[in-house]
Amino acid sequence: MNPLNIVILAAGKGTRMYSDKPKVLHTLAGKPLVQHVLDCASALKPQQICVVYGHGGEAVPDAMRQYAARFVIQEPQLGTGHAVQQAMPHLADEGSTLVLYGDVPLIQHSTLHQMQQAGEGLVLLTVNLPNPAGYGRIVRDAQGDVQSIVEEKDATPEQREICEVNTGILLAPTKLLRGWLDGLQNNNSQGEYYLTDIVSMAVQQGVAVHAVQPSHEWEIHGINSKSQLMVLERTWQLVEASRLLIQGVTLTDAARLDVRGKLNCGRDVEIDVGCIFEGEVSLADKVRVGAYSVIRNSSIAANTVIEPYSHIDNSEVGADCHIGPYARLRPGSRLQEGVHIGNFVEIKNSEIASGSKANHLSYIGDSSVGSRVNIGAGTITCNYDGANKHRTIIEDDVFIGSDTQLVAPVTVGKGATIAAGTTVWKNAPAGELTMNDKNQSTRPGWKRAQKVKK
Ligand code: UD1
Ligand code: CA
């Protein structure tokens, strides 16, 4: 394949978003619009990617620094042809140039690959729409050969009847493109330099013009408003949901699922309504995820059950675990197999070995918990002294009574028992019962205050 340049147009203001943020930084499936396009572009392994930006100062280049792309400002914005012109000084003449749009996020690799296979000359991506209003129309001659693109505002009533429209995405030999752009004029109804005018120039020079159609219509939808963004988000989520259903995942409702990243599922996985998956998440065989759970950058091993309203972030959960309802696993939680974490239990940066349980109302932070440990209700690791974090070590077979505070750094030895209500501020020896010396006393005859009836 000859060298490829990619120009991504992203200078538009996005007035109809009514936002201070540049349009292309608004997110779809948890990722900025322009980043979807950059990811797709990068997968084509081009020699150069050029992003043309305009509004919002340096916000767009700053947010996309991780890409090996060149950012070129277009100021003022005089039309799509003028926008591509800004990139041309940075592109070598060999090979071809693909024009993409920062606000058309869902263009797919397979469609761009089809364009690359279409043949020598200028390749347009077009689509037939039952309602073509607003788009440039593809004008063909009697033989069906593409002659030009006419913008709606410049079109005759007959041309407006044409349902084949310009998506804007095109692929052109770079050297020819440069010449065509140099020849653009702005004598049209909008006073802009139209990229679309290069089509009639190609035809006049006898350069072949091909039209390719995308595999799915949603690939070419652009975003101009929050309602279009919402509609395309739901469209994309249904695409994700049907991909999972085809693989055999049970979804209670495909319309109530959000995947903001990559979700890998084993066999017989079940996902109830309202769940959100962010970043890279893997659910192994027979995992069940309860309603309204949020799981981010985590892996859940086989047979584990996540009950409703659980939050799991940057954590690893072993096989046969039982999590939630209302459990919170914060970054660095690593649970081995058969662990039970119940309601209102928060775990952070801690390992919990097999068969251990913390079923109610606890905070376990910066801890190593052994196997078969029982952590009673209301147990708190006091891991923070106001300046530093300290570790708590709880060895195998420990029983921690309810309402215990473990003041780190501290170790509870193997098989120890901690009485309910103990503040453990020194290491507790293995195999022994440890408690604070608080004797229980009773005041005979003491009366509680009574409400006086008025
Ligand atoms: C353009 C096409 C039209 C096509 C439609 C598809 C032209 C002349 N017309 O029309 O045939 O059907 O897209 O949506 O190309 N942009 C810049 N700088 C500019 C102008 C635009 O970066 O100076 C960017 C915008 O951010 C946007 C894209 O180019 O991402 C399209 O611009 P827009 O003004 O929306 O083009 P349309 O008039 O809709
Ligand atoms: Ca315009």
Active-site residue, 340 included: no
Within 6 A (CB) of ligand 1 lie: 9-12, 52, 74, 77-80, 82-83, 101-103, 135-136, 149, 151, 165-168, 194-196, 222
Marked catalytic residue, from 26, 36, 322, 360: 360
The domains of the chain are located at 4-220, 226-443
Cα 191 to ligand 1 centroid, rounded to whole Å: 13
Q: How far, in Å, from the CA of 270 to the mean position of ligand 1?
A: 43
Q: Which ligand is nearest to the CA of 84?
A: 1
Both tokens assigned to 96? 């071809």
Residue 130: CB atoms within 10 A of its CB come to 5
Query: What's the longest Cα–Cα distance across the chain?
Result: 109
Q: What is the DSSP letter of 131?
A: S
Q: How far is the CA of 339 from the centre of ligand 1 (A)?
A: 55
Q: Does the structural domain 226-443 have CATH classification 3.40.50.10880? A: no
Ligand sitting nearest the alpha carbon of 78: 1
Phi, psi values for residue 207, rounded to 5°: -80, 135
Homologous superfamily (CATH) for 4-220: Spore Coat Polysaccharide Biosynthesis Protein SpsA; Chain A (3.90.550.10)
- Positive or negative, the CA dihedral 161, 164, 165, 170 is negative
DSSP state of 422: -
Measured in Å, residue 79 CA sits from the centre of ligand 2 at: 7
**Nearest residue (CA) to ligand 1, atom 21:** 80
Q: Please, what's the b/e burial string for 312-330 (b: 16 or more CB within 10 A of its CB; e: otherwise)? A: bbebbbbbbbbbbbebbbb
> Relative to the CA of 167, which ligand 1 atom is closest?
6
Q: In the 8-state DSSP scheme, what is residue 291?
A: T
Q: Which atom of ligand 1 is nearest to the CA of 83?
A: 18
Ligand 1 mutation pick, 13, 74, 80, max ligand atoms within 8 A of CB = 80
Nearest ligand, CA 188: 1
pLDDT in tens, the chain (454 residues): 589 999 999 998 899 999 999 999 999 999 999 999 999 999 999 999 999 999 888 999 999 999 999 999 999 999 999 999 999 999 999 999 999 999 999 999 999 999 999 999 999 999 999 999 999 999 999 999 999 999 999 999 999 999 999 999 999 999 999 999 999 999 999 999 999 999 999 999 999 999 999 999 999 999 999 999 999 999 999 999 999 999 999 999 999 999 999 999 999 999 999 999 999 999 999 999 999 999 999 999 999 999 999 999 999 999 999 999 999 999 999 999 999 999 999 999 999 999 999 999 999 999 999 999 999 999 999 999 999 999 999 999 999 999 999 999 999 999 999 999 999 999 999 999 999 987 888 999 999 999 998 8
DSSP class of 118: S
